[in-house]
Amino acid sequence: MFTEDQVNAAIVEIRDPDIVSWELFTEVPNFKVYRRAVVNSALNEYKVLGTYPDLPARYLLSAYTDLNYRKTWDKNMGGWKQLDERRLHYTSKFPWPLSPRDYVYELHVQEFGGGIYCINGQSVEDKTVPEKSGTVRVDEYRQDVVIQPLEDGKGCNIWFGYFDNPKGNIPSSIINWAAKTGLPSFLNSLREAGHGLMKKDADRRQNEKTQTMGTAANTSASVNH
């Protein structure tokens, strides 16, 4: 869960990144990906700062949190199940010969002033979802997202923090390669998914408008007759 101070700090950092303890890992149009080593671990945590100039905040939020819709656009998603109001079981595909990973986590969505949305996911233990043979349970996982609408309402800024421990004897070179290629690919897929929701909304509004005009025309014809 985010506090208001944490949200304000993230908004400030979108404009003026805190890079004192971070290194620039990779950069794509409109986004920079940073990383830093996790204390007492060979792993890294990541943060992404950037802007979707043509994707309103509400569509980004929907594309990110609607897991049924996500199954249609995220090629790495294996499946998911709702365990309770906030708790989820999620399976992710890993490239051969690595085993799939699954996650049990709680997802919180908050809305702050100015149309700012925040998403927080944190791994939890749940004995009702035992580990499966052939699938590795990721029990160290965290995602934090802050979405800020642009003043014109046509796009949004995003602050995204991420860490997970995939476990297993995966060489660091493979983890680095996966992060360097996977994060930019995910950002692009997320944008396209948001645009898909925008198109659905536009088509629905057009259909409703057409139906309303047709009803009005029929009513007018009946009266004139």
Residue 184 — pLDDT band, cuts 50, 70, 90?
confident
Enumerate residues 6+ apart whose C-beta is below 8 A from 58: 115, 117
Residue 59 — pLDDT band, cuts 50, 70, 90?
very high
Within a domain: residue 8?
Answer: yes
Residue 219 — pLDDT band, cuts 50, 70, 90?
low
Looking at the predicted structure, is the pLDDT value of residue 95 above 70?
A: yes
Which pLDDT belongs to residue 224? 67
Domain around 164: 4-219
Within a domain: residue 90?
Answer: yes
From the list 62, 107, 99, the residue with the least C-alpha distance to 82 is 107
Domain count along the chain: 1
Query: What is the number of other CB atoms lying within 10 angstroms of the CB of residue 22?
Result: 18
Within a domain: residue 52?
Answer: yes
Within a domain: residue 225?
Answer: no
Within a domain: residue 224?
Answer: no
Within a domain: residue 147?
Answer: yes
Within a domain: residue 203?
Answer: yes
Element (H, E) at 175: helix 172-224
Q: What is the pLDDT of the chain when averaged over all its residues? A: 90
Looking at the predicted structure, is the pLDDT value of residue 225 above 90?
A: no
Residue 223 — pLDDT band, cuts 50, 70, 90?
low
Within a domain: residue 106?
Answer: yes
Looking at the predicted structure, is the pLDDT value of residue 105 above 90?
A: yes
CATH code for the domain in which residue 88 is found = 3.30.530.20
Looking at the predicted structure, is the pLDDT value of residue 67 above 90?
A: yes
Which pLDDT belongs to residue 36? 93
Question: Which 3 state secondary structure label does DSSP give 54?
Answer: coil
